[in-house]
Structures are given as C-alpha cells and as structure tokens.
A = this chain, B = another copy of it.
Amino acid sequence: MFSYTLRALYRNINTCSLSGIKSRNFSRNIPWRNYGSAHLSREKETKAVTDSSKVKEIIDSYDTYLLDMDGTLWGTDHYSSIPGTPKAIEFLRKQGKEILFVTNNSFHSNSHYLNKFKSQGFEAEEDHVFGVAYAAALYLKEMLNVTGQVYVLGTHGMEDELNKFGLQHFGFGPDPDVSSLLVENLLNMEFRENVQAVLMGFDKDFHYNKIYKAASYLMDPNCHFVATNDVEIAVKIAPNRMQPTTGSLIQSVVAASKRKPTVVGKPHTLMFDCIMEKFPKTNPKRTLFVGDSLKADIRFANNVDIDSVLVLTGANTMKDLKDYPDAIPNFVMSSFAEFCIP
C-alpha cells in the first residue's frame, strides 16, 4: 500500500508541451473552452495509485467520469471481461457521480452499446454514450450543416446514427460496381450528385472502388472529409493475425485524395464538444477521463484540459509512458475496478 510519483519516467521532459497534437477545429465559439499557454506548458506529475485512501481522494475530487470502453470496461478483444468494472460503475453512481461513456469504436451505434452494457452487468441511458458514429453524425448535421448526400465507408452502426440525424447517405456494404483498371469502366461507375461529405469509419467492405469514389468526390474542395478515428490503426487478434482498423483504411484515401480528414474520435476534441453540448453543466475541472490508451484517451484528456487516469487493462503498460511524452495522465491505476472501494 504505497503511492509514489512517476516523475523519474519524465526526467528528460522539462515541459509537458502539447505541441504536435493537431489543433482543434470545432471549438472556436464554445465559451467553456479556455486554454492558456501557461497551462499547456505546465509540468504534470503522474501518480501510480495503489492505495484505497488515495482512490477515495480521487473520487471526492471529481463529479463527472468519462469512461473509455474497449480496454477499460472490457478487453480490447471485445470479448473478455475485466473483473469488477460493473461494480465500480455501481459504486460511483451511489456516490452521486455522473458517468458517461466515450468510445472511438465505429462498429456500432450508441443504442447497440446499451445491450453490450447489459451483457456486462450494468445499464446506462443512450444519451450517456458518446460513440464516434454518433459524434460524426452530429458533426456533419449540426456543425457542418450538411444537407446533401454523405458517401460513407463504414459499418451499419454508423448508418443508424446518420439515419437518426436525418442525413442522406449511401455507400454501406460491398461496392455495387464491377472493379476494373480501364478508364472507360471507371468513368461509367455510379456517382451521385450533391455529395457534400465523405465519411470514413471501420469498413469491412473497404475496396478499390471505394477509394476511387472517395478520392473523386474529394476533388471538390467543398466536399467535407470526415473520419471517425485515426489513432486506432490495427489490432493484434492472434500471435500471427493483425486486424486493420479505421486508422489504416483512411491512409489510402488520404494518399489518393491528397486531403486529410477532420477526425471526430479521441484524441481530437470534438467528442468533448458533444459532451458539453449534451451536458452543459459539466465542470471540466471536476471531470476525470479513465482510459487504457495513451495516444487516444490520455492525449484526449490533455487536449481538452481535463484530468485523467491511465488503466493498465488494455493498450498500454507503465513502461509505455516514456514513449508518449505528450500524453501524461494524472494517475495510473491497475484497473477501473479499483474505483470500487471496499
């Protein structure tokens, strides 16, 4: 039972600079957002928390808990459970805490996650879930004011969210055209009018024709290019099997179109804009992010200027901390389950 600082890990880092992280695009008019450069260059101490009195102190310090899902509430393989996480949610709720769920996973709609939660042993309201499929639809509809067609490379979970926002869209599933190298065949493929955005997520039907169509629509500089996430590149699902995810798929479209997408997911800040829009009374100073990924979760917390906990049940270990000098958590805990104090 001890608590110690991890400053030694950062002995080569004089300032916790956030330079190198993409600047925010969407938050110019949001009054609660107030980053001072002094704050951004502060030196932060990361504390490894192994003492339940320290956990109690943390719980007392925050009212809103933003929880990552894959690797934090269950395994990164989406199958295995993490013992004690439902109990920790229950415990925090009993203390009167607001718990919101924030995921970069673009497989599913927000409503899908409610069933997933039930299967894990807890429940939530749909508007407490902030998935990238939902956030992308919100961004297209309410921030970009898209009224025309959206060409989508993604999953049916994304389709559900676009439908909820009344957005016109197409592109889900296998591409309908026969593939060809011949210019005359390429020119005869199906192209729609008034395509105002290309939206990319995790697409199991990603195909040459889709890269061609996305790159062609993106030749129009007024056509928006939005991606759900970019830091999740590939997941090792077996010792010799690597499952590519959105971050790798977007690279072919980025190359062919010579354009970079606006990215909705963590560590980019749009998700926090969505949270503040739905829960405007949230006080960022009393909000804690809990997640397993330094490059997505902890960078996100750093970018939106809230405190954070790295949990060691997923993507990263203690020794990874030195590899991400721009992703510094306030605390490291072995698991989110530690938030349940006996």
Which residues of A pack against B, CB within 8 Å? 77-79, 107, 155, 174, 179-181, 183, 186-187, 191, 202-208, 211-212, 215-216, 218-220, 233-234, 236-244, 247-249, 251-258
Q: Considering the chains assembled together, what is the distance between the CA atoms of A335 and B255 in angstroms?
A: 30
Nearest residue, chain B, Cβ from A108: B181
Q: Considering the chains assembled together, what is the distance between the CA atoms of A255 and B245 in angstroms?
A: 10
**With A233-B255, A251-B251 as contacts: A241 and B187 at CB distance below 8 Å:** yes
Q: Considering the chains assembled together, what is the distance between the CA atoms of A79 and B219 in angstroms?
A: 23
Please determine whether B248 and A256 come into contact, CB atoms closer than 8 angstroms.
yes
Please determine whether A234 and B208 come into contact, CB atoms closer than 8 angstroms.
no
Please determine whether A212 and B251 come into contact, CB atoms closer than 8 angstroms.
no
Q: Considering the chains assembled together, what is the distance between the CA atoms of A254 and B306 in angstroms?
A: 34
Please determine whether B202 and A242 come into contact, CB atoms closer than 8 angstroms.
no
Please determine whether B208 and A203 come into contact, CB atoms closer than 8 angstroms.
yes
**With A107-B181, A204-B180, A204-B181 as contacts: A211 and B244 at CB distance below 8 Å:** yes
Number of copies: 2
Q: Considering the chains assembled together, what is the distance between the CA atoms of A216 and B207 in angstroms?
A: 18
B residues in contact with A180, CB < 8 Å: 204
B residues in contact with A239, CB < 8 Å: 219
Query: Which 8 A-B pairs rank lowest in CB-CB distance, beginning with the nearest?
Result: A244-B256, A248-B255, A248-B256, A251-B251, A215-B242, A206-B208, A234-B256, A179-B204
Smallest distance from the beta carbon of A57 to chain B beta carbons, Å? 39
